Amino acid sequence: MNSFPNPVIFDQVSAPQPPLLLIVLMYLLPLWLWGNLFKFLLFWTPFDEMSRESLKCNQVIFFIVQTLLIFGVVLFSSIRYQFALWKPPAVKHSAWLVFLAAFPALLYYVFRAVWLFVILAKAASIPNAQIYQIHYALWSDLPYGASLEGVFFSSIMLIFGPVFEEIIFTGFLLNFFLKRYNLLSAIVSIPILFTVAHIPQQGLGVHLISIFVSGLAFVFVRLVSGKLSYSVMCHMFINVIFSFSAMD
């Protein structure tokens, strides 16, 4: 009979872990600290003037630096704390259990994608201005905006960002709650933290329910499979569905 959580989880939790302050710093560095530093630089007149003259160039610089910071966090975490995240090999569980853990989130986003495609199909017969409004509504809340470059950069982040987010939330923070408290607190706390972390970017609304359900699914996928990589793949798949369904 399959045990829950996967026995390998206890080996990963007992491995060396980064302190909580370092986990928070690793999350904030590429997202909030770099973003706020970039905004602070706008108060410097030469930088502000350059920004106004070459907005696209600044957007590219911001994206490249943020991507390098995320890559640095992923690389550092994977090397320094590999036994807390990726090793040892997980005890095999039934594939249907892993799928069942991710099914609620996957089902929601598949239906959302179908719903968006129906809306865009109906929008084909309306004026271009309204189609643009639909496009803007779908992409404007994402980090890089609704421009062509913004859609391209956001699409890359939607595909590769899950590695970073899963290392922080379903990896280190899940380990932290399992080690300090208990299984139930970890299952409840991680989706809540995952949801709260998205509020500054996406605001308050019913969409937070889907984010919470997704975070819960990623937690169960790791706990059932013992593999953080499965949570990453599930997160990537959901983001790909969102990305393609949001393109008009």
% the chain with pLDDT above 90: 36
Find the length of the chain: 248
**Residue with token string 């019913």:** 206
Residue 112 burial by CB count (10 A; 0-12/13-18/19+): exposed, middle or buried? middle
Tokens of 243: 């990305």
The predicted-structure confidence for 94-109, as pLDDT tens digits, reads as follows 666 776 777 767 666 6
Residue 123 has pLDDT above 90, yes or no: no
Residue 124 has pLDDT above 90, yes or no: no
DSSP assignment of 85-122 equals HT-SPPPP--HHHHHHHHHHHHHHHHHHHHHHHHHHHH
Average pLDDT on 191-215 reads: 86
pLDDT number for residue 176 = 97
pLDDT number for residue 248 = 44
